[in-house]
Structure 1
Amino acid sequence: MQNIIIIGATSAMAKEVAKLYATEKANLYLIARDTSKLDTIKQDLTVRGANTVHTAPFDANQFNSHPALIEQAFNALGRVDVLLVAHGSLPNQELCKTDSMKAIEELNTNGVSVISLLTHAAIKMEQQKSGNITVITSVAGDRGRQSNYVYGAAKGMVSTFLQGLDQRLSKSGVHILDIKPGFVDTPMTAEFDKSVLWAKPDKVAKIITNRIRKRSSLSYTPFFWFFIMKIIRFIPQFIFNKIKL
């Protein structure tokens, strides 16, 4: 029976991951900002077969609350098999272009808060010498684009942090997984026009849980984004500057 912590548990992808673990009768500890949504999700996961479901509220940018939050989650579950970090926001890039405080807020939400939480959780995982840390970042972190470079900068920061964390925690038997989704059809992206490149949250959730189980290091989700981003990364800057992306 697995023990799972999910931070940002009300996000579309996180909810689908929780459903999959609930059918395996896992013990779940769900953390998110919206307590009413957490209560609804808890009821649903209990019906789906979860052994226990704990919930806790948090504000990602209240950094001083992070140590106690992680401590409580680990104390409630004992050994933690999987920690999934899935919280975040989709910034208004136009606003971030002119409002530095808004840009900093979004960098804190999507980047610094994740690093803060992982710093405390990594100590726990290192001590137990097992488990998995999975973080949902984004292909946007691979290259800064005019349409979302604040968001991309935050996600790129987390991905770089995870690379170093992986090298450190591999010596303790802890598996690190950086999940980089492309376009995912969620409430956060409801206003975007959809195409064949868009994935559904339940499909992404299955990819995530399969990679955790196999201790895979594959990040791009779905995998065809590896080829798309390889092309985007290697476009010369003078050409890239003429492209509207």
Structure 2
Amino acid sequence: MKKILIIGATSAIAHACARLWAAQGCDFFLVARDMEKLDSNAADLKARGAGRIDTHRLDVTHFSGHPAMLADCLAALGQIDIVLLAHGTLPDQKACEQYAGLAIQEFITNGASVIALLPLLARHFEVQRCGTLAVLSSVAGDRGRPSNYLYGSAKAAVSTFCDGLQARMFKLGVHVVTIKPGFVDTPMTHGLPLPALLVAQPAAVAERIVKGIARRSTSLYAPGFWAWIMWVIRAIPQPLFKRLDL
């Protein structure tokens, strides 16, 4: 069975993915800040058929804790077949425009912390010469929009970093997939005025992610129709785009 490291394991999308893998009897090393919720999720996965489950508390913005987390994971699982990086927040764009410190902190959480983790994980896979690094970015990173360009810029950095990492690791037999969810019904988006027809459920997004990882996809929009939506949005000339309320 697969041995899976999930960072940001309390996120709705990550847990939905873990449920699918649990049904296959996979082993898990689950990482998050909220240990109470993490333990609850672990119990849920165990009930659904998971094998070994270990948990680890980590604030991903404390970069000094990353190596110890990986060491503990390897001590528990022995090897890693799949890493799912799924942590993040949805910043208040208006607040970030007013407070530089908040903007920087949100960029660190959603962008820099991912970029800090990836080389550490990549070095392990470089030696192992197999495995999958699956990284949750976002459709928001495809083009900066007035409503969320702080979040979008962090995710754009993640996507670009993954493009380069993917090309490097491909030659070593390591699979890197960039996952770009659209609107998903999660606690992070609760209360936002989102168009109902475009909002997906975490279980549906997770099914696409798990299948995409198994198929060794390189870039994955979830749901898939977001690939077409973002193609249109990227194609809009900037003189027109800046006049749109997006």
TM-score using structure 1 length? 0.98
Deviation at 1:75, TM superposition (A): 2.6
Please say if residues 111 and 158 of structure 1, whose CA atoms lie closer than 8 Å, have aligned partners that are also in contact: yes
Counterpart of 2:84 in 1: which secondary structure?
A: strand
Q: Which sections of structure 1, spanning at least 5 residues, go unmatched?
A: none
**Paired position in structure 2 for 1:33:** 33
Deviation at 1:79, TM superposition (A): 1.8
Aligned pairs (5 A) from 1:100-119: 100-119=100-119
C-alpha distance in 1 between matches for 2:72 and 2:173: 23
Counterpart of 1:30 in 2: which secondary structure?
A: strand
**Paired position in structure 1 for 2:241:** 240
Tell whether 2:110 aligns with 1:96: no
Q: CA RMSD in A?
A: 0.8
The one-letter amino acid paired with 1:221 is A
The one-letter amino acid paired with 1:12 is A
C-alpha distance in 2 between matches for 1:221 and 1:19: 17
C-alpha distance in 2 between matches for 1:74 and 1:198: 37
Counterpart of 1:91 in 2: which secondary structure?
A: coil
C-alpha distance in 1 between matches for 2:245 and 2:170: 40
Counterpart of 1:172 in 2: which secondary structure?
A: coil
C-alpha distance in 1 between matches for 2:29 and 2:128: 18
**Paired position in structure 2 for 1:57:** 57
C-alpha distance in 1 between matches for 2:125 and 2:239: 44
Q: Work out the number of aligned pairs and report it.
A: 245
**Paired position in structure 2 for 1:85:** 85
Q: Runs (4+) of structure 1 moved beyond 6 Å?
A: none
Please say if residues 16 and 202 of structure 1, whose CA atoms lie closer than 8 Å, have aligned partners that are also in contact: yes
Tell whether 2:182 aligns with 1:214: no
Residues 19 and 192 (structure 1 numbering): CA distance in 2 closer, same or farther, change over 3 Å? Answer: same
Please say if residues 6 and 14 of structure 1, whose CA atoms lie closer than 8 Å, have aligned partners that are also in contact: yes
The one-letter amino acid paired with 2:217 is S
**Paired position in structure 1 for 2:199:** 198
The one-letter amino acid paired with 1:105 is Q
Deviation at 1:198, TM superposition (A): 0.7
Aligned pairs (5 A) from 1:158-173: 158-173=158-173
C-alpha distance in 2 between matches for 1:218 and 1:136: 10
Q: Which sections of structure 2, spanning at least 5 residues, go unmatched?
A: none
191-200 or 120-129: which moved more?
191-200
TM-score using structure 2 length? 0.98
Task: Provide, for residues 61-82 of structure 1, a one-character-per-residue CA deviation record: whole Å limited to 9, x for no partner.
Answer: 1011111112221232122110
Deviation at 1:208, TM superposition (A): 0.5
**Paired position in structure 2 for 1:48:** 48
Counterpart of 1:223 in 2: which secondary structure?
A: coil
73-82 or 101-110: which moved more?
73-82
164-173 or 193-202: which moved more?
193-202
Please say if residues 140 and 155 of structure 1, whose CA atoms lie closer than 8 Å, have aligned partners that are also in contact: yes
C-alpha distance in 2 between matches for 1:112 and 1:192: 25
C-alpha distance in 2 between matches for 1:179 and 1:135: 6
C-alpha distance in 2 between matches for 1:198 and 1:120: 34
Please say if residues 142 and 229 of structure 1, whose CA atoms lie closer than 8 Å, have aligned partners that are also in contact: yes
Task: Provide, for residues 159-206 of structure 1, a one-character-per-residue CA deviation record: whole Å limited to 9, x for no partner.
Answer: 000011001111111100100011001011110234111110000000
Please say if residues 209 and 220 of structure 2, whose CA atoms lie closer than 8 Å, have aligned partners that are also in contact: no
187-196 or 33-42: which moved more?
187-196
The one-letter amino acid paired with 2:226 is W
Deviation at 1:35, TM superposition (A): 0.2
Please say if residues 70 and 117 of structure 1, whose CA atoms lie closer than 8 Å, have aligned partners that are also in contact: no
84-93 or 71-80: which moved more?
71-80
The one-letter amino acid paired with 2:174 is V
Please say if residues 179 and 221 of structure 2, whose CA atoms lie closer than 8 Å, have aligned partners that are also in contact: yes
C-alpha distance in 2 between matches for 1:89 and 1:143: 18
The one-letter amino acid paired with 2:244 is I
Deviation at 1:30, TM superposition (A): 0.3
